[in-house]
A and B are shown apart, each in its own frame.
Chain A
Amino acid sequence: METVRATIEWTPEIDRFVLWNDELAGRAFVPEPFGDVTDNLLLEVDEHDTETGQIVGVELAILEFDCWDNLPKLDLLWQLPGQEPLPLDELLRRAQRELRQQAGHTASPA
Chain B
Amino acid sequence: MGPKSGQGSAEPPRERIERLVAEGLMPWAAVEQAERLWQERLRHGVTMPNGEQVWITLDDLYHVIVDSRIWRHPERIVRALESVFEIRALEHGRKLAFSRWYEGERERLAALVLYPDRTLRTMHLIDERRLRRYTRKVGEVVWRQ
Contact = CB atoms under 8 A, between A and B. Distances in A.
On whether the two chains bind one another, the answer is yes
Interface in B7-27: 7, 9-13, 16, 20, 23, 25-26
Contacts of B125: 28, 30
A31 B2 contact: no
A37 B96 contact: yes
Interface in B111-126: 111, 113, 115, 119, 121-122, 124-126
Interface stretch (B33-41, B77-85, B130-138): B130-138
B104 to A, nearest CB: 15
Contacts of B26: 25-26
B130 A31 contact: yes
B66 interface: yes
Interface residues of B, number: 42
B63 A11 contact: yes
A82 interface: yes
A102 B122 CA distance: 23
Interface residues of A, number: 34
A64 to B, nearest CB: 8
A9 B65 CA distance: 13
Given A9-B10, A16-B122, A81-B3, A38 B25 contact: no
Closest 5 A/B residue pairs (Cβ): A82-B5, A98-B7, A10-B10, A8-B10, A26-B25
30 contacts: A7-B11, A7-B16, A10-B10, A10-B11, A11-B12, A11-B59, A14-B119, A16-B122, A18-B63, A20-B16, A25-B25, A25-B26, A25-B66, A26-B66, A28-B68, A28-B125, A29-B67, A30-B124, A33-B134, A37-B96, A37-B113, A37-B137, A38-B94, A38-B121, A49-B127, A81-B3, A82-B5, A83-B5, A83-B6, A99-B10
